[in-house]
Amino acid sequence: MAIGFSSPYHSLGTAGLIALVLGFSSLQSMADDQITKKDGTQITGQIVSVSGGQVMVSIHSPNGGIAKLPYDLDKIQSVTMAPPAGVAAVHDAAPAAVIAGLEPLVKQYAGLPTDWVVEAMGQLAEAYNAQGQADRAVDLYNQIDTLYPGSKYHAEAAAGKALLSLKQGKIEEALAEVQPIVDQANKNLAPSPAEGRLYARTFLVYGQILQAQKKLSQALEAYLTVKTMFYQNPAMVEQASQLTGKLRDQNPGLGID
């Protein structure tokens, strides 16, 4: 600033300027979410909640106030929204902590067409199952199919239900859940990052099913596929590495046919 220049913010002082910057940052954070409707219209604001087939969005009105407006989910093409901090906070957490952290977020945002919501639903279902609440886990997987009918997210629900069936010793039932997803993935030579993340979970479960069937070479191939083709989710890659290592330790010299 040139000497003698009078700024309208000069009289605020350091504390005032910091408060002003934080205020601008807060306004910006509220405008980070973006909804694209099927007619091409774009809505920018803060997604507050999802309920009754509508998503509630907080938007800055022209008069400087804040308005909360509902938009029909069936008219929305896509959503860009960063996961809330609570999602990262329960990464690698114990099942009880996962349930405590994700239950309110899933209740608040279930049905929003964005990857992190469905992944959180899947993680919550796994935590339920780990806590002996298999019925609640199945209900949550079924909710994914209900809220996202005919979508790519069916892979998350199918893999989750297959793993539950496998743990109950229902091997053929588990295979029937994931086989269509596996066949679909094998035909997809260039999966998008979002598809890769979903296929990874399917192939992890598929590998475990093959192990239960004593098809060890095919199981190894399934795990390695996660590491080489569907590597977009680091947690899934790490799990594939662990399953691969354990399988090879138990079966020295094992390779892919």
User: What are the structural domains, with CATH classification, of the chain?
Assistant: 31-82 (2.30.30.100), 85-250 (1.25.40.10)
Do 119 and 83 meet the contact criterion of CB atoms below 8 Å apart?
A: no
Q: Which residues contact 171 (CB under 8 A, 6 or more apart)?
A: 165, 209, 212, 213
Contact 67, 58 (CB under 8 A): yes
- Position 29 confidence tier, pLDDT thresholds 50, 70, 90: very low
The candidate with the shortest Cα–Cα distance to 141, out of 163, 158, 119, 166, is: 158
As beta bridge partners, residue 159 has none
Taking the C-alpha atoms of residue 220 and residue 227, their distance in angstroms, rounded to an integer, is 11
> Model-level pTM?
0.80
Spatial separation of the C-alpha atoms in residues 243 and 33, rounded to whole Å: 37
Please compute the mean of the pLDDT values over residues 20-40 and round it to a whole number.
Answer: 64
Q: What was the pLDDT predicted at 241?
A: 97
CB burial string 110-147: b at 16+ within 10 A, e below: bbbbbbbbbbbbbbbbbbbbeeebeebbbebbebbbeb
Number of Cβ within 10 Å of residue 160's Cβ equals 26
Least confident of 16-30, 191-205, 231-245: 16-30
In this structure, how many other beta carbons lie within 10 angstroms of the beta carbon of residue 196? 19
Looking at residue 211, what is its pLDDT? Answer: 97
Instruction: Dump pLDDT digits (tens) for 147-184.
Output: 999 999 999 999 999 999 999 999 999 999 999 999 99
Q: Are 254 and 232 in contact (CB under 8 A)?
A: no
Which of 225, 223, 229 minimizes the C-alpha distance to 246?
Answer: 223
Q: How confident is the model at residue 31 (pLDDT cuts 50, 70, 90)?
A: very low
The yes-or-no verdict on residue 61 having pLDDT over 90 is no
